[in-house]
Amino acid sequence: EQLVESGGGLVKPGGSLRLSCAASGFPFSSYTMHWVRQAPGKGLQWVSSINTGSTYIYYADSVKGRFTISRDNTKNSLHLQMNSLRVEDTALYYCARDRRASELPLDDAFDVWGQGTTVTVSS
C-alpha cells in the first residue's frame, strides 16, 4: 500500500499548481482520500477530502474557492488543483487514505500517507 505525491514546486503568488498522488497496492476506488499540508516548522493542517464517487467533497475554509480536489479511479490517482496561490500556502502536501473502504465518507483515521510534495509560494 503506497501513495506517491508529485507536482510540487516554486510558484509566484497568484499562480497555479496541480498536485497528484499515485496510489498502488490497494483498491484505490474503494477509499475516501485526503490532502493534508504542513507548513515549515508547523503542525498538520487538513486541506480537502473526496469520497470514492466524488460525490462528497470537503475543503478547509482557508482553501475553499481556490483549490479543487479530484480523483481518477481508472488511473488510481488523486489530484489537487491549486489556484490563486498565496505565500501562506507554502507547505509540504501529503495525500492520505481512509483506514476503511467505504463509498461514503467515514469518521475514521487516515492510515496510509505519502511522503509529501513541497509547494513553495514566493515572489
Partner 1 sequence: YMLTQPPSVSVAPGKTATITCGGNNIGRKSVYWYQQRPGLAPILVIYYDSDRPSGIPERFSGSNSGNTATLTISRVDAEDEADYYCQVWDNIDDHWVFGGGTKLTVL
Q: Which spans of this chain sit near partner 1 (rule: CB under 8 A)?
A: 34, 36, 43-46, 49, 58, 60-61, 94, 99, 107-111, 113-116
Query: Minimum distance from CB of 12 to partner 1 (Å)?
Result: 27
Query: Minimum distance from CB of 13 to partner 1 (Å)?
Result: 25
Smaller CB separation from partner 1, 14 or 25: 25
Report d(CA 87, CA 85) in Å as an integer. Answer: 7
| Cα separation values, 112 from 11, 41, 116, Å | 28, 22, 12
Report d(CA 114, CA 93) in Å as an integer. Answer: 9
- Per the DSSP assignment, residues forming a β-bridge with 44 are 38
Smaller CB separation from partner 1, 88 or 108: 108
